[in-house]
Structure 1
Amino acid sequence: MNNRVLLSLHIGYWLLILTQKLLEALGTGVLGTQTDWFLFFSIVVPVHFLQICCLALFFYANYLVLIPYVLKKRNVVSYLIALVGCTLIFTPLYYLMEQIVYPVIGWKTYTQNLDFIFAFIVTLSANFVNIFLGLLLSYLMDWRSLRAEKELIEKEKLKTELAFLKSQVNPHYLFNTINDIYALTQQQSEEAPEALLKLSELLRYMLRESDDPYVLLSSEINYLENVITLQKIGQKGDAYINFEVKGSLDKQMIAPLILINFVENAFKHGVFNDRKNPIQILIFVDQKTLMLHLRNAINTAKKDKTGGIGLNNVKRRLSLLYPNRHELSIDHQHDFFSVDLKISFYD
């Protein structure tokens, strides 16, 4: 809530109180059975307007000064003493209004003359509700500020954690790819320029487009295609990878680099050279959901000495980016490893 809206609410509140007072004056018949509108606008309206001004002055003295600087910084006893002092300060104002200003315009609130003690009681009773409202509003605004600050801290924490998780994507893969391209250039292979171009596109995506919280799904799939192409080049053509995308790609958005960990895991632990059991990477997409099915035979000859953080990484990112909007099933058997992921684009 910005300051302009807050100011409008304050002004609206006092106008509402003024309207209530004026309607009460009309309803009680103080102007006679036949309402004298000249008397109403020349006396009743100014009197109630002045009363509302006095109430507002007392309210903001309590709300802006006594509560934040006495009650919240000292204690309740100090606040009560300060509240009595504030009432004593405002009592002459009420006394002046009742004894001097109102008689001049032909208005008398009380039949008897006010003394100072009675004026003090009138001042306190007139502002009793506003004292309570000031306390309620002050602590409500404090709660709102704390909640907004907590949400900001959570967002910054989430952003930092996501940035850290994203920074862990692909480092080992990039090193391997660079080594493969270096080997191709040493061999003066015709595939070297294409591989270098694919690597350039891959790095551009990682360094630029993936900074956005969400990217086009078509861009993410194009990134996966480049990764798969480079992997095939690195395997010197002896790689059986079945990559298919079914459905219509029509401006769906997805978190960047959210699928690559599953693909990398298949490359890292899978079997490439088995024609009968190729690495399966199937993506089904419509306007609302994306489904990824990945299956690979496990290469028992490969030993992961570094320990895998890829799957834990992507599980954490999914829980942060798609809470209650994703389903992940991982089946790790003796010979095969499979992943089924469903992501809903919308809540």
Structure 2
Amino acid sequence: MKKQTLIYLHIGYWLLVFVQVLLVALGTGVLGTQIAWGLFLRIVLPVKLIQTACAAAFFYVNYLLLIPLFLKKGNIFKYIVSLVGAILVFTPLYYYLEQHFFPLIGWKSYELDLTFSFAAMVVLSSNFLNIFLALLLSYLMDWRTLRMEKEIAEKEQFKTELAFLKSQVNPHYLFNTINDIYALAQQQSEEAPEALLKLSELLRYMLRESDDADVPLAKEIAYLENVIELQRMGQKGKSFINFKVTGEVKDQKIAPLILINFIENAFKHGVFKEADEPIQIELSIADKQFSMLVKNKINTSRKDKTGGIGLANVKRRLALIYPQRHQLRIDQQNSTFTIDLKIAL
């Protein structure tokens, strides 16, 4: 809530209090059975306005000064003493208004003359509710501030964690790709310039598009296609990958770089040089439901202790970006590794 809005709420509250005391004055018949509007405007209105202003002044002395200065610092005794002191300060003002000023304009609340002790009791009783409201409002505002700070901290932590997770690009794939392009260049292969161009497109996508919360699904798929094509080039046509996309991709969006870890994992730990057992990558979109199925034969000759980092990374990103909106099944049966991902876009 903005500061300006809070100010308006405070003004609105005291306007309501002022209207309420005016209605009470009318209802109790202080002007007789027939309302004399001249007397009302000349006497009742200024009297009730001054009384409301005094109540507001007492409220804000307590709310803005005494509570923060003593109570919120843990000194209850000093707060009580200061509150009694505030009552004693406001008592002469109340006494003067009721005993001298208001009678001058034709208003007298009491038939008998006031005593100072009685005036002090009236100040306490008339402001008892205001004391409670000041305490309540002060601690409610503290709770609200703490909640806002917590929300801001959680959002910042969320952004920081996402940025960190997105920055964890698997160096294994990049290094291998660079080595493959270097080998193509040494052999003076005609595919070397194209491979270098595709790598630059990948890096451009990772540096620019990944800053957005969502990217067009078509761009993410094009990114995956470049990754797969680079894999094929680096293996000189000996990389067997079946990549298929079905459904309407247009106008759909997805978190950037949320799918690449699954494909990198298949390349890193799977068998891709056997034509009869290729890596299967299937993407499908239907009614805002995105599905990804990755199947690969496990390469038992490769041992990599960091194999689980990429999958743990993407699991955490999915939990942060798509809470309650995704399903991820990772299954290993015999020599086949399967990843089945579903996301509600």
Query: How does the TM-score come out when normalised to structure 2?
Result: 0.96
What pairs up with 1:40-51 in 2 under 5 angstroms? 40-51=40-51
Deviates more, 1:9-18 or 1:73-82: 73-82
Shift of 1:100: 2.1
Shift of 1:229: 0.9
The code of the aligned residue for 1:73 comes to K
**Residues 170-197 of structure 1 deviation map (CA, whole Å, 9 limit, x = unaligned):** 3211111111111111111111111111
Indicate the residue corresponding to 2:156 in structure 1: 156
What pairs up with 1:82-161 in 2 under 5 angstroms? 82-161=82-161
2:265/2:307 contact within 8 Å kept: no
The code of the aligned residue for 1:116 comes to F
Deviates more, 1:127-136 or 1:297-306: 297-306
Deviates more, 1:76-85 or 1:233-242: 233-242
**What value does the CA root-mean-square deviation take over the aligned residues?**
1.4
Does 1:246 find its partner at 2:255? no
Does 1:11 find its partner at 2:11? yes
Does 1:308 find its partner at 2:308? yes
Shift of 1:74: 4.1
Shift of 1:287: 5.0
Deviates more, 1:237-246 or 1:333-342: 237-246
1:261/1:310 contact within 8 Å kept: yes
Does 1:184 find its partner at 2:184? yes
Indicate the residue corresponding to 1:269 in structure 2: 269
**Residues 55-75 of structure 1 deviation map (CA, whole Å, 9 limit, x = unaligned):** 010000000000001111241
Distance (whole Å) between structure 2 residues aligned to residue 220 and residue 343 of structure 1:
14
Distance (whole Å) between structure 2 residues aligned to residue 287 and residue 110 of structure 1:
77
Structure 1 residues without counterparts, runs of 5 or longer? none
1:166/1:257 contact within 8 Å kept: yes
Alignment: residue pair count: 345
Distance (whole Å) between structure 1 residues aligned to residue 329 and residue 14 of structure 2:
59
Distance (whole Å) between structure 2 residues aligned to residue 69 and residue 306 of structure 1:
56
Deviates more, 1:270-279 or 1:58-67: 270-279
Q: Secondary structure at the match of 1:169?
A: coil
The code of the aligned residue for 2:215 comes to V
Indicate the residue corresponding to 2:328 in structure 1: 328
**Residues 148-180 of structure 1 deviation map (CA, whole Å, 9 limit, x = unaligned):** 112222222222222222222232111111111
Q: Secondary structure at the match of 1:30?
A: coil
Distance (whole Å) between structure 2 residues aligned to residue 146 and residue 227 of structure 1:
46
The code of the aligned residue for 1:98 comes to E
Distance (whole Å) between structure 2 residues aligned to residue 14 and residue 261 of structure 1:
60
Structure 2 residues without counterparts, runs of 5 or longer? none
**Residues 237-274 of structure 1 deviation map (CA, whole Å, 9 limit, x = unaligned):** 11221112222223332221111111111111122123
What pairs up with 1:329-344 in 2 under 5 angstroms? 329-344=329-344
2:271/2:278 contact within 8 Å kept: yes
Does 1:32 find its partner at 2:8? no
Distance (whole Å) between structure 1 residues aligned to residue 55 and residue 289 of structure 2:
58
Deviates more, 1:271-280 or 1:190-199: 271-280
Does 1:206 find its partner at 2:206? yes
**Residues 196-229 of structure 1 deviation map (CA, whole Å, 9 limit, x = unaligned):** 1111110011111112222222221111111111
Q: Secondary structure at the match of 2:308?
A: coil
What pairs up with 1:211-226 in 2 under 5 angstroms? 211-226=211-226
Distance (whole Å) between structure 2 residues aligned to residue 255 and residue 51 of structure 1:
60
Shift of 1:321: 1.6
Distance (whole Å) between structure 1 residues aligned to residue 272 and residue 37 of structure 2:
94
Query: How does the TM-score come out when normalised to structure 1?
Result: 0.95
1:294/1:338 contact within 8 Å kept: yes
Deviates more, 1:335-344 or 1:249-258: 249-258
User: Once the two structures are aligned, what percentage of the paired residues are identical?
Assistant: 66
Q: Secondary structure at the match of 2:70?
A: helix
Indicate the residue corresponding to 1:281 in structure 2: 281
2:170/2:310 contact within 8 Å kept: no
Distance (whole Å) between structure 2 residues aligned to residue 132 and residue 112 of structure 1:
31
Shift of 1:27: 2.0
Distance (whole Å) between structure 2 residues aligned to residue 287 and residue 125 of structure 1:
65
1:252/1:287 contact within 8 Å kept: no
Distance (whole Å) between structure 2 residues aligned to residue 125 and residue 188 of structure 1:
96
